[in-house]
């Protein structure tokens, strides 16, 4: 029987990740670090000591052989702290692409990813939808090298290996053989880069990228849940404390009702995100569960961040308050891996709600 609750093992993993991120990625320090390259020590500890880098990698390649259910818990904690770590980009997107490839070359790379010594990024726009084709930006020349440009790649700044789809083939390119140029990004905790390849040496590792984007979209819902939870709990704490008109602003009914509605949205986001993780972990087709979760959670995270800002008043508008980290992450992830509209269109197809002729 599937479960939408958290198992004991999942809760243990959560508290390990949460403790580490509380020490290393408290909102104030994430804020202070904006604009400079993130401290690689944080990812090292998370990837190596706790072992999240190899969470989704089978034991035969030195990973933990865990499922999307455990990975989702890590995503929640990363969302809750807006941590600048390449878990989604390397340990989920790149990892799933390599797992789909299934070749010995891919296996060798997975072994390096599992240990945390190597970090990879999938050279696909972060805005790519799981429902459209990728691989059109880069061409393969006669001499076997790759040339082209991919915009808005997430996690490339932290990667030493780039996985580049070209046509229907997936290639591995050493980051040192490509140009990765960070671009100013709405979400500075997950900066995007333009990746340029100019006759870059490349090794074919497999066909296509498999379910990487769909899998990533499903787990992104859990990250969005974490973002929404931070916004809700931070706002609750604030309105209980902040006094105006000689009473806590959280005692005004218009504010209580907004927060009650927001809570209900978050409750449903948790159920949807758990359902998507559970579907990705099981044998059944996860398509509908992912589309539902992503369309719902993306909007809830944005709404939670926007409500949080409004209910903080002026302080919410300052750079000094960490709230904007969560607003920017929420809004960016709404666009990432398919917009809510893309996921609703997919839902309509899968749930047999045909569009008008």
Partner 1 sequence: MNEEDIKERVREFLAANDPAADRLGFLRARFDAGLAWVHFPPGLGGLGAPRELQQVVERELESTPQLRPGVQAIGLGMAAPTILAFGTEEQQRRFLRPLWTGEEIWCQLFSEPGAGSDLATLATRAVRDGEEWVVDGQKVWTSGAHHARWAILVARTDPDQPKHRGMTYFVCDMQAPGVDVRPLRQITGEAEFNEVFLTGVRLGDDLRLGGVGDGWRVAQTTLMNERVAIGGAPARRGGGMIGLVTRTWRDRPELRDHDLHQRLVRLWIEAEVTRLAGARLREQLAAGQPGPEGSGMKLSFATLNQALTGLDLEMHREEGLGYDDWSFRRSESVDFAGRDIGYRYLRAKGNSIEGGTSEILRNIIAERVLGLPSEPRVDKDVPWKDLPR
For partner 1, the closer of residues 8 and 352 by Cβ is 352
CB of 325 to partner 1, least distance (A): 23
How far apart, in Å, do the first and last CA atoms of the chain sit? 40
Q: Answer yes or no whether residue 314 interacts with partner 1 by CB under 8 A.
A: no
CB of 242 to partner 1, least distance (A): 12
Q: Answer yes or no whether residue 351 interacts with partner 1 by CB under 8 A.
A: yes
Q: Answer yes or no whether residue 7 interacts with partner 1 by CB under 8 A.
A: no
Task: Select from 8-16, 104-112, 113-121, 258-266 the region that touches partner 1 (CB under 8 A).
Answer: 258-266
CB atoms within 10 A of CB 288: 17
For partner 1, the closer of residues 20 and 232 by Cβ is 232
Residue 69: exposure state from Cβ atoms within 10 A (0-12, 13-18, ≥19):
buried
CB of 330 to partner 1, least distance (A): 17
**Rounded Cα distance, 261 and 198, in Å:** 52
Q: Answer yes or no whether residue 295 interacts with partner 1 by CB under 8 A.
A: yes
Name which of 89, 193, 81, 197 is nearest 135 in CA terms.
197
Q: Where are the beta strands (DSSP E) in the chain?
A: 120-122, 138-140, 146-154, 161-166, 169-174, 179-183, 192-200, 203-207, 243-244, 247-248
Which strand (E) or helix (H) includes residue 107? helix 104-115
**Rounded Cα distance, 113 and 90, in Å:** 8
CB of 347 to partner 1, least distance (A): 6
109 and 87 Cβ atoms separated by less than 8 Å: no
- In sequence order, what are the beta bridge partners of 169? 166, 207
Distances in Å between the alpha carbon of 128 and those of 122, 153, 194, 296, 336?
A: 11, 10, 14, 18, 7
CB of 345 to partner 1, least distance (A): 8
DSSP state of 126: T
- In sequence order, what are the beta bridge partners of 150? 195
Binders of partner 1 among residues 263 to 282 (CB under 8 A) are 263-264, 267-272, 274-275
Q: Answer yes or no whether residue 356 interacts with partner 1 by CB under 8 A.
A: yes
Residues 6+ apart with CB under 8 A from 247: none
CB of 307 to partner 1, least distance (A): 13
For partner 1, the closer of residues 139 and 240 by Cβ is 240
For partner 1, the closer of residues 139 and 256 by Cβ is 256
For partner 1, the closer of residues 65 and 263 by Cβ is 263
For partner 1, the closer of residues 176 and 355 by Cβ is 355
Task: Select from 68-76, 144-152, 316-324, 346-354 the region that touches partner 1 (CB under 8 A).
Answer: 346-354
CB of 72 to partner 1, least distance (A): 14
Q: Answer yes or no whether residue 73 interacts with partner 1 by CB under 8 A.
A: no
For partner 1, the closer of residues 76 and 187 by Cβ is 76
Residues 6+ apart with CB under 8 A from 164: 123, 138, 146, 150, 170, 171, 172, 173, 195, 197, 202
Binders of partner 1 among residues 103 to 142 (CB under 8 A) are none
Q: Answer yes or no whether residue 9 interacts with partner 1 by CB under 8 A.
A: no
Query: Mask 215-254, x = binds partner 1 (CB under 8 A)?
Result: ---------------------x--xx------xx-xxxx-
CA 179 to chain centre: 23
Give residues in contact with partner 1 (CB under 8 A). 3-5, 236, 239-240, 247-248, 250-253, 255-257, 259-261, 263-264, 267-272, 274-275, 292-293, 295-296, 344-345, 347-348, 351-357
């Amino acid at each position: 029987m599937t479960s939408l609750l958290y198992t004991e093992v999942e809760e243990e993993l959560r508290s390990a990740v949460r403790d580490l991120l509380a020490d290393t990625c408290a909102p104030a320090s994430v804020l202070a670090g904006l604009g400079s390259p993130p401290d690689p020590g944080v990812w090292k500890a998370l990837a190596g000591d706790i072992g999240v880098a190899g969470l989704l990698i089978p034991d035969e390649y030195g990973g933990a052989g865990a499922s999307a259910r455990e990975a989702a818990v890590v995503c929640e904690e990363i969302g809750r702290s807006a941590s600048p770590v390449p878990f989604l980009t390397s340990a989920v997107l790149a990892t799933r692409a390599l797992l789909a490839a299934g070749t010995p070359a891919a296996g060798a790379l997975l072994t390096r990813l599992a240990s945390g010594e190597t970090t990879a990024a999938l050279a696909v726009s972060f805005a790519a939808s799981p429902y459209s084709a990728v691989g059109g930006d880069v061409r393969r020349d006669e001499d076997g090298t790759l040339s082209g440009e991919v915009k808005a790649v997430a996690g490339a700044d932290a990667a030493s290996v780039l996985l580049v789809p070209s046509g229907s083939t997936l290639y591995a390119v050493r980051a040192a053989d490509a140009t990765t140029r960070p671009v100013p990004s709405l979400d500075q905790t997950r900066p995007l880069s333009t990746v340029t390849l100019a006759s870059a040496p490349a090794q074919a590792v497999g066909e296509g990228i498999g379910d990487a984007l769909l899998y990533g979209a499903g787990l992104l819902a859990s990250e969005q849940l974490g973002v929404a939870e931070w916004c809700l709990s931070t706002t609750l704490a604030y309105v209980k404390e902040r006094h105006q008109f000689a009473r806590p602003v959280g005692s005004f009914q218009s504010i209580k009702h907004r927060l009650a509605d927001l809570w209900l949205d978050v409750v449903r986001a948790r159920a949807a995100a758990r359902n998507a993780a559970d579907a990705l972990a099981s044998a059944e087709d996860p398509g509908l569960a992912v589309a539902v979760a992503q369309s719902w959670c993306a909007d809830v995270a944005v709404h939670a961040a926007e409500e949080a800002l409004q209910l903080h008043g002026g302080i919410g508008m300052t750079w000094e308050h960490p709230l904007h980290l969560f607003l920017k992450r929420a809004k960016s992830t709404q666009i990432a891996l398919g917009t809510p509209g893309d996921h609703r269109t997919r839902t309509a197809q899968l749930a047999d709600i045909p569009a008008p002729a």
